[in-house]
Structure 1
Amino acid sequence: MDHFQTLVIGAGPGGYVAAIRAAQLGQKVACVDRWLDAGGKPALGG
C-alpha cells in the first residue's frame, strides 16, 4: 500500500498545478480524478 503526504482531488487546471507544486516542495503526491485525462475542460477542447 502506498502512502502519500498530499492528496489532490480533481485533475483540472487547479488540481494538477497544486499537485505539481506540492511535488516541487518535496511532498509525495497522489492526484485523483474521475476522468482518465488531466486538465479538465481546457484539455478536452472546452
Structure 2
Amino acid sequence: MADNHAEGGHPDMDYAEHERTYALFLKLTKYGAIFCIALIILLAITTL
C-alpha cells in the first residue's frame, strides 16, 4: 500500500494494523472465491 499516510495521518490510528487487516481480507476473499469456484465445478461434475 502507499505510504502517503506518514506525513499527515491521525496520530491515534494504527496504520500497521489497518494494513494487516486489509491483507487478511484480501487473502480470505481470494481463497473464498477459489473455494466457491471449486464447489461449483464439483457440483457440475457430480450432477452430470
* Same fold? TM cut 0.5: no
Which structure's CA Rg is the greater one?
2
Structure number with higher helix proportion = 2
TM-score category, normalised to shorter length: 0.3 to 0.5
Normalised TM-score (structure 2): 0.31
Higher relative contact order (CA 8 A, sep 6+): 1
Normalised TM-score (structure 1): 0.32
